[in-house]
Structure 1
């Protein structure tokens, strides 16, 4: 019994250690599950599928939310703009708060789908006290910071809220101060009026800047009533103007010209004037000026961060020594299968209605994949089955219906859905390279495969055209898609007589994109965007050693591309074969196969007792990975229970 207890004890501990090691390993190769473009230091709430409902729904404030994908280059660039917005409206948080959610993370994808997010980045305003699936969709343009703030103000005004915390956005253009005082509560100690042009946003910005003092401070704006302007003894040249209104119908103009030595804008002029006035007169209890200091510090920190990033990029460009082992590595099949899984199960299925041109683009893309993707036999069977099922619905289908097709795996027809990692396209940080990098590799591999498979006259435009309309209709990065449409506007001019035309065409586009993005915020500092192939990767591809666009020996470059992206150059050492359990055809369990050729993969049925036992062990490990804390507590309880039973039995055995 003692040995049994020791065996069980160490067996359970070993299982826990293995599971936690695998969990750590999985986290290292599954970056989309944890990566956020924002940190706790940003004034952006990091939302997830787990905390979204409790934070956003039924909130007392409105929420401005960015739905983004961490792999999306434009989202990475836009993050600084969004940080700027968050800093600038930090004082508005009594009325509206700002958050962001990474739709690329598995845990967040379902929530993004519920919100019908089809492209990234998408900005949505969710009104106060909104309920799940009942609030109207309010979308904002992902423009520059000032544009977002102005549009946000318009949307907040349109909500027409009457809460006491809500600013008095509508202009007050009556001549009676009594009417003005009738709108405020008895707790208000100071009433301010901003006189400005009707299309000016300054007054509404100031209302939001001081909105947290709504119980003691009321701010109104006046715009069109010139009679009232005369009452204040001002004219057009004096606006924006600021006045304090008192219960005895007297007014006091507040000087806003104290900071005119610097061009700081009318919003800042009024902001400083109000803070100075409140500080001198002590109208507001517990008035805290630290908000403004915090905003200024955050803006300076953001500016310094951008300068530091630019400096690091410059230093990296000067000092980067390419790792030749990395540069010469083969394309990895695990990258292709990971990108295909995300593409089919997330990108395409995200589109609500797949009909008309979108349906045609999907069919065209699936046909190209089934003809030219250099995949394993079960994956090719999977692609053919998906294409066949889509063709059975010529009138189109919904994204949800397509997701059901894409999620279905059978013993001889499957696409792994738990290989969430990149090897050839792994970046130095999770947001770098990944999915877009693998797509480019896939595009090149398809054009090479076409040349190597087709013996008759080729349709040179077939693959570039399929790629173009896939990107147009399904690629999540909106800005990237628009740029790709510009790059491929001359697609119909491809030389139909040159069988290498598609290879050359996509290679040139890729290098133009690399040139445009070199030094950009989205560039991986450890993998600078170069004119491909590099001289070290293909010495014979360069005419001279400079990095210009026209510096390539076309014949040698074509030969290199034909070899580099060929089926024979695909690394299979990391790809996984799968066992399908009896309980569900969807349940794929990986079985590592190294050095296996494309034609040697086969599915194995679980039939004997030892395999069932290993399945049980995998289930236990999976449970420990998902619930490590609870599993540890359970382990302790089991050990205590077994130990007590052991000693209890021991005492009974020696009792007369």
Structure 2
């Protein structure tokens, strides 16, 4: 009994000691917390956030005469906006931790009574306030205030870069130059810089990629990064740069440049000797291609290819295809989160399609509407393709199919956010567009089969967003390993765990499963309009100016064609029956100098056309008739008047009455039937008849008794009539040349004959000698 009592007493004593020990520790902990209330946390930030906490003791050493630029947030711990902004400031500090040698972030709690004099000294009157302090700032510097600063990490990065470039001398020693490099500097770079590698970032003037890479690579030794604009034609031509932005890594040991575009990482898998260096560049340069983001440039490129390339294959659109096109434009107008300049044009085209009453539509008229020939103000569509997130490792990978899937995902999410009454509105428009217009017909068939199988479920137990996501993964599963798969962007079940870890789950059996609620939340965030990136977009002003230039050029071309058409109509009215002659004259660009001199002297113009002597059929002589009029008017007018008086004794008198005209017309028709190339002429007076007779005489085409009298009128022409009949359209110069050539050839043949005859006689004489 004594032992049991002793044991019971020892146990109760141990419990008492344990309770006393716990109460003592709790008392000590409470006393420490009450004694040192600010040691646990200072304001909204701690040193573990990689942010410098400013106090009266260190403010001068941090901000005055510092070798790095400083960005300070003045906040109040009780301020709701400051509390909401604090996660962004912490994320920014983690994101630019590589910039620390050149730039660092700091914060100070102005709600702390100890810090009130400091905040008042920097003229801080509201919270939160951001101020930028240049390197080597003086003690009286108040800093540069951020006005309307962005509330996201990416925007703040760009803002910090802009402020860093405002530095003058002295420049922060740890920060390399951020300005662009020239070809002369790059050619002599290794002579003046002690580095082993040089990375060149080729980019547009409004891009931040090059400057971000330069700052991100500050802490890497033996590597220098320089940015080159696309306007530096010497380097761009030398290296054959076609994509902007792009990275070229110069490796002096091999003496070559390795190209790495910003949209893929296919050079990161090279040999071990350069893998480490290229991996660093790939990781940094690929900041421009964040696979977890959606680019507006991809969406606008998809619109360009869809409306200007794919629809252009259909010359005429009618029936159900026209209805599908109208629904496609209706959905785009409702849910496409585009820029105002793009949305204005989409709305104008949609209204134009809706107001049309025709049952069919030609693509040429649709193209006019897309080109904004109606001149709707502040409306334009992109006129080129610029893939960013959908850029493949080679030109034939990704691109338009990736852009079309992205566009469909964005439209379904936007329709969900807009609380569309019809859950199938977007996917039905997509289905019809793919069925009637998508270029890959086999792909269109597969999509239609998927729609027929499961589209009826949309709106009941599955949302359009999840339906399209599941169909997309189904297509990825079918195309995995196909020749169309980009080896650098394999077909996976999306989203991968690194983008959405909570979207993936594991069943009790160990199988993978999708957490659809998490997937839906991720899709709404990923494809929301607020999450779209506007990088690499062409400025609206450039789109509008280029569209205006094309419209002006088109109007000028149409005006020129109209002027030419009116000129042709006027000429045809003034000279009926002379169209063929005018066309031949337009095709003749040069004329013989002799002919021009003859025209200036008043002589007849000789025809350029080759004569047709087969069957002695003469070509139409419209040119000769027109030219001989001027010939007769200039040379034979006086002679014709004198000969008209002498004609009365030899040829019966012709009167000016209209009753004689039928006989003259009959003679002309007779000449036409004989194949002489004569055309009926209706003279109005005696001079007209005489001119007609002179023309017929000059062309050597008269027959009958009346023509004999006319030949007596012009004895000079009668003597040379035989030459006109023999020439059959040849000029006098041609005949003279033929005669001269005939004479020369005869002389040459005669000389050759005499030469060989004498030579033969000499040979016979030599043979006969003993």
Instruction: Give the TM-score of the pair, scaled to structure 1.
Output: 0.40
Q: TM-score, normalised by structure 2?
A: 0.34
In terms of fraction of residues, the more helix-rich structure is 2
